[in-house]
Amino acid sequence: MKNINNDMKDNKAKGRKVIGCFPLYPPLELFHSLGLVPVTLWGLKDSIPTTGKSDRHLQPYACSVARHLTEFLLSENGAALDGLFMYNACDTLRNLPEIINCGLADTGRSLPIFKIHLPMAPREQTESRAYLRARIKMLINELEEAYQVTFSIEKFRQSVSLYREMRKLCKALETLVANGRMSYNEFSRIIRDGWFVPAEDQLLALQKILQDRPLSKREHVPSAVQSRIVVSGILPPPLHMIQAFENAGLTFVGNDIASQNRALFYTPAMVDDPADYYVDFYNHHYPCTTLLYTADRRVAAIRELILSTRAQGVVFIGEKFCEFEYFEIPHLEKILKDMGVPTLFLEVSIDDNDYSEAYVTRIETFAELIGSANQGGRYAE
């Protein structure tokens, strides 16, 4: 596993201005076009194994995403950041900026924090485009002032192209995984490593991987691999858990993971105004439990994902204390049951590494269930 702390130090050593972005879906292209290196602070657990500093500011019932994020920012590694960006992704994250400021103040540090409110009302109910446009324009002004840079539409276009290509290649890797040519473990690691390096570096890394393992045209249709599953959640399962799935003969043919497919799914067409671009980006974003206005599209998206990948089972990875996810799971489980698709729910908490063996039996049983269904053909769409 690549150490993100080294990436952060490398960015700093090269004189790059790095803006840390709270998960989930920040305006990466915008930051990039202004000469900043945006890093999305997902999945810090592997690099920040303890939460001692965070525990002085957050109760243990905050999710591990928030606790590791806070720990990272308060640690020495967080000093490599030149700013932070966040929006109202959830109740926990919206409370964090001031908590982080308190923690930084204790260590004599401070960071500029840029905040926007992302409208969460359904678009057919409330006209919020003008509001979002104004917030994006204000953000651009704030960034220009803070970093003494000037927004350029040309550079923005280049950044959009770069991220579009990067997302496209990430999707190509997903296809490799679905066809059994790449493990989901490797895929998750590659995607995760990409969050902490400049987009150009990530693009080069992706291109190299795909040169070594090129996709053929026929790979874009679902392959005939058996025991096909889709995984859903905020973060992918921990690597040792993925290993347990793959050891049990299950193939991840698709994902509804916030840090993967939900984040990578959509890049808008280029327009002449970055505010319009982000109105489109957020309006048409892949449905996510945290984007409250996408709720009505979520069931359809999951159904489509299952049908298009011919998945035979769905695994929900519950990030402990993530209410947004937990409110939806019972409903989704019921719908999937009605579709004849078996589900498995596994909860991941901050100390799950200590209890990984407990999951193995459940994963193996789930694999057997799907395997027996294959033989009987019960779960054909």
**Burial grade of 90 (CB within 10 A; 0-12, 13-18, 19 or more):** buried
Minimal distance in Å, beta carbon 97 to other proteins? Answer: 7
Minimal distance in Å, beta carbon 320 to other proteins? Answer: 7
φ, ψ of residue 61 in degrees (nearest 5): -95, 10
Minimal distance in Å, beta carbon 278 to other proteins? Answer: 16
HSE (side-chain half, CA atoms, 13 Å) at 94: 9
Nearer to other proteins by Cβ, of 331 and 378: the residue is: 331
Nearer to other proteins by Cβ, of 95 and 361: the residue is: 95
Q: Is 194 helix (H, G, I), strand (E, B) or coil?
A: helix
Nearer to other proteins by Cβ, of 264 and 288: the residue is: 288
The amino acid occupying position 337 is: K
Helices (H), the chain: 4-13, 28-33, 64-74, 91-106, 129-147, 153-178, 184-194, 199-212, 239-247, 263-264, 274-283, 295-309, 323-339, 357-376
Nearer to other proteins by Cβ, of 260 and 343: the residue is: 343
Minimal distance in Å, beta carbon 245 to other proteins? Answer: 22
Place of tokens 């489509």: 304
Nearer to other proteins by Cβ, of 349 and 353: the residue is: 349
264 Cβ neighbours under 8 A, 6+ residues apart: 167, 170, 171, 191
CA-CA distance, 35 to 324, in Å (whole number)?
34
Q: Is 131 helix (H, G, I), strand (E, B) or coil?
A: helix
Minimal distance in Å, beta carbon 214 to other proteins? Answer: 42
Nearer to other proteins by Cβ, of 121 and 358: the residue is: 121
Minimal distance in Å, beta carbon 77 to other proteins? Answer: 21
Note the residues at the interface with other proteins (CB under 8 A). Answer: 56-59, 61-62, 66, 88, 90-92, 94-99, 102-103, 115, 117, 119-122, 125-128, 131, 134, 289, 292-293, 295, 299, 318, 320-321, 323-324, 326-331, 333
Nearer to other proteins by Cβ, of 165 and 326: the residue is: 326
> Looking at the DSSP assignment, which residues form a beta bridge with residue 20?
39, 84
φ, ψ of residue 100 in degrees (nearest 5): -65, -40
Minimal distance in Å, beta carbon 378 to other proteins? Answer: 23
